[in-house]
Chains A and B, each alone.
Chain A
Amino acid sequence: MTKNVLGISPGSLSRKRSYWERIHLDPWLLLLLVVLIISGLGVLYSASGQNLDLVIRQGMRFILALVVMVVLAQLSPTTLQRWALAAYALGVSMLIAVEIMGDMGMGAQRWLVIPGVMRFQPSELMKLAMPMMVAAWLSRRPLPPRLWDLVVCAVLIGVPVLLIARQPDLGTSLLVALSAVFVVLLAGLSWRIIGLLSALAAAALPLLWMNMHDYQKRRVLTFLDPETDPLGAGWNIIQSTTAIGSGGVWGKGWLEGTQSQLEFLPERHTDFIVAVLGEEFGLVGMLAFLILYLLIVCRGLWLASAAQETFGRLLAGSIMLTFFIYVFVNVGMVSGLLPVVGVPLPLVSYGGTSSVTLLAGFGILMSVHAQRRLLPR
């Protein structure tokens, strides 16, 4: 480490490091995450129809994910920066592999199956590899980014996003693109270009619509007017808003939500779990969760902005903003604000891969944060 070049005073090195600092973890963020995960498991127990096995399975995944988080927190951001290209390349090649020989599942090719070993969603890897790559590229460049940097970024973003969109998984491709866009924005993309690109995006919307699959179009149309298809595509939105609305201020009580317990609510332990929360715990429970998420995001953003290295700063900021977007899109979708896209509620919805990815992201955030302690200004 080149301490003197970076102007680190010897005194700060001798500062006593706390136990938490030594293990590279932020206690506040960890506490908030654990509170969220445990309350989420409580909701899951109700949403799964009191299936304890399922809750335990999910709990085990969280333990695994927390281990991943702790391990990643021990790595230095420099290591991550070095790995960025490799992770990105691996992700893109796996996406291509899925494109070529992907397992046909759920009408979409999203899974890569290594027979007998594992099923893996390459797009899940891209959620982290993508911002890492863009952050790694931009952090070497003088900022704000110049036009050339942006062209490189556009290519870096475009290739995997198109591959994911072709699977087809529009929701994930947009979120992956967004995670990279956040990096570019935080790097200081000029407002003029932001305005220009927004205008271009708006103009491209009809083009996007024409290239959408029927089910994707139907989702958008159903979102605009769920009553047109109350038993088909609109069913989910009608039932979820009914669940949330009928919860009222205080909710129907844990395990007492009729919409969820009587199975009117579809996908209640995965994407629509927030409707169970709204029904059983009411506005109070919903606001408590939203505040919990807000605290996590704010704490995360605070940690990110305290980072000293550009790469870590950009990556950590992007990870936290993407995390928030997950929350916003999921809650917005279930409450009928946004069209139905397959986005789970982070750290609450049932599902293994996404919780590992999310907590891995928090691991990276903590590693970035720990570096600040190692290299205080």
Chain B
Amino acid sequence: MRLHRNPVKDPQRELYIYRVRMLLAVVLVVLLTGLLGARLYYLQVVQHEVYSTRSDKNRVRVEPLPPSRGLIYDRNGELLAENLPTYNLMLVRERVDNLDETLGLLVDLLALPEDEVESLRARSRQRQRSYQPALLINDLSESQIALLAVNRYRLPGVEVEAQFLRHYPDSEIMSHVLGYVGRINTQELERIDSGNYAGTHYIGKTGVELSYEDELHGKAGIRKVEANARGRVLRELEREDSVSGKDLKLSIDKPLQQLAFDLLDGRRGAIVAIDPRNGQILALASVPGFDTNQFVTGINVKDYRALQQDVDLPLFNRAIRGSYPAGSTIKPFMLIAGLASGVITPETTIYDPGYYQLPNDDRRYRNWLRWGHGRVDMERSLAVSNNTYYYSLAHDVGIDRISEHLSKFGFGQRNAADVAGEGSALLPSREWKRQRFNQSWYPGETLSVGIGQGYLQVTPLQLATATAVLANRGHWVKPRLALEIGGDPLPEVLPETLDDITLPNDEWWDRVFSGMKKVLSGREGTARRSGVGLEYAMAGKSGTAQVFSLGQNERYNASQIRERLRDHALFMAFAPVDEPKIAVSVIVENAGGGSSHAAGLARAMSDFWLLERNAGGQPAGSQAEKDPDAEAAALSEGAL
């Protein structure tokens, strides 16, 4: 390149160079414009679908419309579970800039305890997707709502949502029947159809709320809305309304349930009452109960721990899960086993010297009356609750046939159609023992089962169910809580019940019933004091379940044993005998003998149901059987 100090300008050449460069520039301009055009073609034609979808996803938000949960009524139409409007604090994680800051501010604003931050944080994570609102705080007060509204700009992603909250007006007496709803947890989240639960924060956790969850929940609707970038809904594009959950009518009679609770007040125990004609559960009381409402809003840790650690186990549903030795309440069923297997007839008698000995065995299996009842026939064996008769019977029937026949009454199984969390307790068998302990069955263990002790355990619900089947002369009815779902009555007879039980002679049922009547009304009846003044025929059997096992020659002395080790009092009964309308089982923990501490409760339940609640339906000819020896000396304490 030359460097001339003062070169000559050449306009022609300059213009030529300029025009060449300009031509190149025009070509470049056209090419670049073409490039833009190609890019736009790619975006707007080739990829149009992709971006179109993305744009719709931007603007269209699908919002769930949660269904309102079905209400629950008792058999008389009294409301047991309702939905009350409340305001909840919701948090959308996606829209929160700084979770710590937001939670801290919330705790400050609403004057929550400092340690609430962590539980709020845990709740904020309960939704998998960060754009779904998570429930932080229930049931805001009006002043809290006002505070939140004023500070709204400082709390992005925090919303106040109006929602219906489950409420149980009679939460304590109904606690173990209804159960409760609570916040959906992670495990439940995996199980449920998340679409149908979008927008719903609660799910049935226990009781009827759990077993009828699908019916009560209903079907969620959706609405598609157009929202702007800040999430404000501008208009509704599409709507599919939710379908409310179905209302549920239970067979529970609230006054009877209340009575059961009152009868057990201050004690621990359970009362179950069933209508033998159809299996409807009239009362299902487990005492103590608890306030289920606090579980709906999320019980705080302290209260929950207190409930959990309460020695009276209020959270434990004794009525359906409590496993108790049946004690002498098993005896009527043992008789049926003996009669059905042909081992005895109603005329079979034994001589009771006060104990029973197995062949070739020195050990004496004692009657509760040390000197024995002498000659004992079948009916008297029930009335006096003789043990020797049943030792002999059990030995003759054998464990195999005992478990076979007792299982026909539903022992050792879950029988109810719709009771969530029902326990199966334990009906022992040779097979069971081999599997459980890898041991063979000993004949002495059969004798224990014969008087309802040993391995045999029953739940109050099982005992009431078996009593109902017994009252039906072997005809099975499946216990159930629901009467109507969404206004449609359920069938009277539910499918999948056990087979009916038959005896070689149908009149033998009456003989067993006669023995059971004598329990309450006979001269020698163990519970005759509870049978005083009966206005109808009632058949029953007391039982006393040992909690504390005695050594071979020890004698039971209630006063010397701590309260918690005292015997459980049991009673099973049905009435009226000719046309049974109620079968009831009563268990009072550590109360002592069943004839004195449980029979009265069964009588009260039966009286109330037959004489007050169903006064019009009182069966004809159910004359009260007056007990001539009502004032006789007590046989009760320790009576098996």
Contacts and interface: CB of A to CB of B under 8 A. Distances in A.
Contact of B51 (A241, A263, A298): A241
A299 to B, nearest CB: 11
Interface string B3-17: 110011111011101
Contact of B39 (A264, A324, A335): A335
Given A146-B2, A242-B54, A297-B29, A305 B19 contact: yes
Contact of A301 (B25, B32, B39, B51): B25
B9 A259 contact: no
Interface stretch (B212-220, B223-231, B259-267, B304-312): B223-231
Contacts, number: 153
Nearest to B230: A263
A314 B19 CA distance: 11
Nearest to B11: A310
A158 interface: no
B148 to A, nearest CB: 25
Given A147-B1, A148-B3, A258-B59, A244 B22 contact: no
Contacts of A142: 4, 7-10
Given A258-B226, A310-B11, A337 B17 contact: no
A190 B20 CA distance: 12
B301 interface: no
B197 to A, nearest CB: 28
A258 B58 contact: yes
B162 interface: no
Interface string B173-189: 00000000000000000
B26 interface: yes
A185 B54 contact: no
Contacts of B234: 262
B44 A249 contact: yes
A332 B230 contact: no
A321 interface: yes
Contacts of B41: 283
Interface residues of B, number: 48
Interface in A172-205: 185-188, 190
Contact of B25 (A294, A321, A331): A321
A282 B58 contact: no
Interface hub of B8, B9, B18, B32 (most chain A Cβ within 10 A) = B18
Interface in A99-143: 141-143
Interface in A233-269: 239, 241-249, 258-259, 262-264
Interface string B25-50: 11001101101110111011101101
A289 B528 CA distance: 105
Interface in B538-569: none
Contacts of B119: none
B632 to A, nearest CB: 87
A305 B25 CA distance: 11
Interface string A304-334: 1100001001100100010010001001100
B438 interface: no
B18 A283 contact: no
B21 A185 contact: yes
Nearest to A261: B228
A282 B59 contact: no
Interface in B311-356: none
A286 B42 CA distance: 13
A287 interface: yes
A298 B29 contact: yes
B44 A188 contact: no
Contact of A317 (B1, B9, B22, B35): B22
B18 A245 contact: no
Nearest to B47: A245
Interface string B53-76: 011101100000000000000000
A187 B41 CA distance: 36
**Which of A141, A190, A248, A332 has its CB near the most chain B CB atoms (within 10 A)?**
A248
Contacts of B21: 185-186, 188
A247 B42 CA distance: 12
Nearest to B16: A188
B11 to A, nearest CB: 7
B18 A317 contact: yes
A283 B29 contact: no
In which size bucket is the chain A interface?
A: 35 or more
Q: Which of A187, A190, A246 has the most CB of B within 10 A?
A: A246
B52 A245 contact: yes
A86 interface: no
A286 B26 contact: no
A27 interface: no
A146 B1 contact: yes
Interface string B135-155: 000000000000000000000
Contacts of A259: 55, 58-59
Interface string A347-375: 00000000000000000000000000000
B44 A247 contact: yes
A264 B51 CA distance: 13
A278 interface: yes
Given A242-B51, A310-B11, A290 B44 contact: no
Contact of B14 (A188, A293, A304): A188
A263 B228 CA distance: 6
Contacts of B11: 310
Contact of B226 (A185, A262, A310, A332): A262
Nearest to A182: B25
Contacts of B228: 262-264
B36 A143 contact: no
A143 B228 CA distance: 58
Contact of B36 (A243, A262, A298, A331): A331
Contact of A286 (B3, B44, B55, B226): B44
A119 to B, nearest CB: 29
Interface in B408-445: none
Contacts of A188: 14, 17-18, 21
B39 A305 contact: no
A281 to B, nearest CB: 10
A264 B43 contact: no
Given A246-B52, A258-B55, A259-B55, A324 B29 contact: yes
Contacts of A141: 9
A262 B7 contact: no
A303 to B, nearest CB: 11
A246 B40 contact: no
Contacts of A310: 11, 14, 18
Nearest to B43: A245
B229 A264 contact: yes
Which of B7, B36, B58 has the most chain A CB atoms inside 10 A of its CB? B36
Interface in A61-94: none
A141 to B, nearest CB: 8
Given A244-B44, A264-B59, A286-B44, A335 B36 contact: yes
Nearest to B51: A245
A297 B33 CA distance: 11
Nearest to A243: B55
Nearest to B227: A262
B639 to A, nearest CB: 77
A242 B55 contact: yes
Contact of B58 (A147, A242, A283, A313): A242
26 contacts: A142-B4, A146-B4, A148-B3, A187-B14, A187-B18, A241-B51, A242-B54, A244-B43, A244-B44, A245-B43, A246-B56, A248-B44, A248-B52, A249-B48, A258-B59, A262-B227, A264-B55, A293-B33, A294-B30, A298-B29, A310-B14, A314-B18, A317-B18, A317-B22, A335-B40, A336-B43
Task: Please name the 10 residue pairs, one residue from A and one from B, whose CB atoms are nearest each other, closest first.
Answer: A245-B51, A246-B55, A188-B17, A142-B7, A262-B228, A263-B229, A245-B43, A283-B44, A246-B51, A258-B59
Given A245-B44, A263-B228, A279-B55, 16 more contacts: A143-B9, A143-B13, A147-B1, A185-B21, A187-B17, A239-B58, A245-B48, A245-B54, A246-B54, A262-B227, A264-B229, A283-B41, A294-B29, A324-B32, A335-B36, A337-B36
